Chains A and B, each alone.
Chain A
Amino acid sequence: MIKIEAKLQRKHFNFEVSLQIDKRVTAIFGPSGSGKSTLLSLIAGITQPNSGRIFIDNECVFDSQLGINKPIHQRRVGLVFQDGRLFPHMSVEQNLNYAFKLNSQQKQLIQPAEIMQLMALESLKKQEPHQLSGGEKQRVALGRALLSSPKLLMLDEPLASLDEKLKQQILPYLKLVADNINIPMLYVSHSMDEILQLTNDIIYIENGAVVSTNQA
């Protein structure tokens, strides 16, 4: 479960939300610039709200009144971005192992071999990121995020930089993760098409505020 009550004031942008998310897969939908990514940054700890409280899995990671602000690396959220952000100096396998090794003390949920199989990366494991197509990169990024055994998986427009054909190739992998891996997932997108293939639980954001939640 994720609980967030937060206020963020910037020069040309105010963001204020109060949300409780307890579904397995929740989509965050809204026009660009509406604050979808800001919501993810606040939860991940990349951006600090001016005031508020944030709970991930019933654990407080931010509370402005109590002075709690856990750094990114202690929040255990898996992030997948539009641009993949694979480490360019490491092979596919090394990218995956980087995440796995960092969390080897945790009760591992998933092994690198399983992820390679699930994401069909076996044949790519020795490749360097610059040799991969956009779709392959996203599969590695998704696998890497899963291997950090996160409490929460957040995907920020993971398909936005892919063409229609590639999108249709990646969506099954996303569905696979949504259906088979027991990690809550927040999925940011401005494409309702994409969202409806993954979930019916949708939070609509506009101008830095939640307009409606359709959590069935």
Chain B
Amino acid sequence: MMQALFSFTPEELAIVWLSLKVALLCVLIILIPGIAVSWLLARKSFWGKSLLNSLVHLPLVLPPVVPGFLLLLLLGNQGLIGKHLHTYFGFSLAFTWMGAVVASAVMAFPLMVRSTRLAISQVDRNLEIAAQSLGAHPLKVFFTITLPLAMPGVITGLILAFSRSLGEFGATITFVGNIENETRTLPLAIYSYTQIPNGDWPAMRLVILSMILALGALMLSDRLERKANQKIGRQQHD
């Protein structure tokens, strides 16, 4: 029994690998835009700010199928943008694992921004002014003062985004389908097993794998956050 539980089949490991690949790439592509949008929302006032804020957060409140469907209309092979990607570059996102990355990036982006934006807005502006008065260009101030001090929040945002991507279901299945070895990530595989006879046991094994991954991500996040807090001289008392 224990043996059966802890030796995973190549198929199961392939599913995990695909899920990790999608989630890691998702985090990577939202990192820079996420920080940029968070900074804009935290520190600048401009025309259309509340519209941008709403658009960023929309995937958080919509049923995930809706962003998935919109992605299909935009980036599908017959879609507004996807059509051209396909004809001119022979490149298609729909029904590929890269499409799954895009779908989960859209869904994870608001979580990344919420956390990072809060962290940036909590950085004391007086420290930024102090750095500027010493002769630091605003860009230098951002990279040497603002970003390091906001780092715990950025890390939390990235882990939240990573976990969201690991769990992404609705937008993914709508936009890229449920194709084995291409777009069938952990949640999709679990769902697929529940739809076939005698699928409960294989589903259960994947559920356990999911829980291990999720726990791992949370523990890593806790550790990184602690480290980042120590680095900026913030004491933790727990």
Contact = CB atoms under 8 A, between A and B. Distances in A.
B233 A77 contact: no
A75 B133 CA distance: 8
A72 B129 contact: yes
A102 B149 contact: no
Nearest to B140: A102
A178 B133 CA distance: 20
Contacts of B138: 71, 73
Contacts of B231: 89
Contacts of B87: none
A128 B234 CA distance: 10
A87 B136 contact: no
Interface string B106-147: 000000000000000000101101111111111010001100
A170 B46 CA distance: 44
Contacts of B126: 81, 83, 85
A132 B134 CA distance: 21
B145 A87 contact: yes
A81 B125 CA distance: 13
Interface string A49-87: 000000000000000000000011111111101010101
Contacts of A44: 133
Interface of B: 124, 126-127, 129-138, 140, 144-145, 148-149, 231-235
Interface residues of A, number: 27
Report whether over half of chain A's contact residues are helix, strand or loop; otherwise say mixed. Answer: mixed
Given A89-B149, A130-B233, A148 B133 contact: yes
**From A79, A81, A88, A89, residue with most partner B Cβ within 10 Å:** A89
A87 B131 contact: yes
Question: 10 shortest A-B CB distances, which residue pairs?
Answer: A89-B232, A72-B132, A88-B233, A85-B130, A102-B135, A148-B134, A99-B134, A79-B133, A73-B132, A130-B233
Given A73-B136, A81-B126, A88 B131 contact: no
A204 interface: no
A167 B130 CA distance: 22
A88 B234 contact: yes
Given A85-B126, A88-B233, A73 B137 contact: yes
A46 interface: yes
A130 B235 CA distance: 9
5 contacts: A71-B132, A72-B132, A89-B231, A98-B131, A103-B134
A4 interface: no
B133 A77 contact: yes
Nearest to B234: A88
Nearest to A98: B134
A144 B134 contact: yes
A6 interface: no
Given A83-B126, A89-B233, A98 B133 contact: no
A114 B20 CA distance: 53
Nearest to B148: A89
A145 interface: yes
B135 A79 contact: no
A129 interface: yes
A1 B6 CA distance: 77
Nearest to B145: A87
Given A73-B138, A81-B130, A145-B133, 19 more contacts: A73-B133, A73-B136, A75-B133, A76-B135, A78-B133, A79-B129, A79-B130, A81-B126, A85-B124, A85-B127, A87-B130, A88-B127, A89-B149, A89-B232, A89-B233, A98-B131, A98-B134, A130-B233, A148-B133
Contacts of A79: 129-130, 133
Q: Which of B126, B131, B231 has most chain A Cβ within 10 Å?
A: B131
B59 to A, nearest CB: 33
